[in-house]
Chains A and B, each alone.
Chain A
Amino acid sequence: MKIKRRRIALDDLDWKILYALQENARQTYSETGRLLNVAHSTIYERIKKMEEHGIIKKYTTVVDLEKIGMKYLIAVMTVITDPKESENVAEKLSEFDEVLEVYTSLSSELLIIAKVVAEDQNKLHSFIAKSVAPLPGVLRIRTSIVTKKHKEGLLVGPNFNAHASKERRQLNSGGGVSG
């Protein structure tokens, strides 16, 4: 059962478990325990708590499309929108299979940034011309085709937000997941 709470504080062990799971979500409680020098029962309890609190949202599979011979390209598409329509545009974009990720950003103009996948440049252009440009509120679109991937993967690494972690440590003295 999922427990919905607004703020959840994690201690160092919780973070270490999360880093370990992001590297390999299939490792057993015993393996994680050995890695972190903690009893497997502790690992089990911490993971269960984080699942119940919705901190661990799901376990997924990363597929290497090149290994199965799939030809594809990735592009980053920046959509400049009418501010009144931006939410609708973002929602519509999220519905397309070709769109992998969608973000909104407010700089000098309201932008929607999306990661798009297509078989080739013609299919990419056709998708943008036929499905994205006609969406109400779309003002302009800039698209860059990715030529090389340098990093993909973990959402947060051990050094992410180190300062905040230090503050958290001072606030929480060893309670684990707490709301």
Chain B
Amino acid sequence: MFTQKILRKVLREKAFYFFSSIGNYIGESAASLEEFVGKIREVNPKSIEFHLYRGDFEKWVDEVLGDVRLAEKIRELRNQKLIGEDLQDQLYQTILKRYNELKTGFT
């Protein structure tokens, strides 16, 4: 039940919208954790930096998807102060790992 809630698809108003800077929407969005994993790998690393260091990712994962554990992992990653593709790779691996855990039931 808890896992299903995290993996559900949310309404478009609650989706995550990727920006490159204040007010500049790049046209990519994710309405589920599955879509989120894919977009994290696709979007420009600048967009990842923008959102990570504003705390947007952990906030959305926590408040919309309801996954406190993943939100905490993202927060830890933020503290490593990574940038560019290193950051993108690390974030992708972190979210993918959690997604696979949820899909296979190893939470």
| Residues of A that sit less than 8 Å from B by CB | 75, 77, 121, 124-125, 128-130, 132-134, 136, 138-143, 145
Contacts and interface: CB of A to CB of B under 8 A. Distances in A.
B17 interface: yes
Given A139-B27, A140-B25, A134 B15 contact: yes
Given A129-B17, A134-B29, A140-B27, 17 more contacts: A77-B23, A121-B22, A128-B23, A130-B13, A133-B17, A133-B25, A134-B13, A138-B25, A139-B27, A140-B25, A141-B24, A142-B24, A143-B22, A143-B23, A143-B24, A145-B22, A145-B23
User: What is the interface of chain B mostly: helix, strand, loop, or mixed?
Assistant: strand
B12 interface: yes
A133 B24 contact: no
User: Considering residues A124, A134, A139, which has the most beta carbons from chain B within 10 angstroms of its beta carbon?
Assistant: A134
Contacts of A145: 22-23
B30 to A, nearest CB: 12
A134 B12 contact: yes
Given A134-B12, A136-B12, A141 B22 contact: no
Interface in B20-43: 22-27, 29
7 contacts: A75-B23, A125-B19, A125-B23, A133-B17, A138-B25, A139-B27, A141-B24
A129 B14 CA distance: 10
Contact of B25 (A75, A124, A129, A136): A129
Contact of A128 (B13, B25, B27): B25
Contacts of B12: 134, 136
User: Considering residues B19, B23, B24, B25, which has the most beta carbons from chain A within 10 angstroms of its beta carbon?
Assistant: B23
Nearest to B56: A129
Nearest to A131: B13
User: Considering residues A130, A132, A133, A141, which has the most beta carbons from chain B within 10 angstroms of its beta carbon?
Assistant: A133
The 10 closest A-B pairs by CB, nearest first: A143-B23, A141-B25, A133-B17, A140-B27, A133-B25, A125-B22, A134-B13, A128-B23, A134-B12, A121-B22
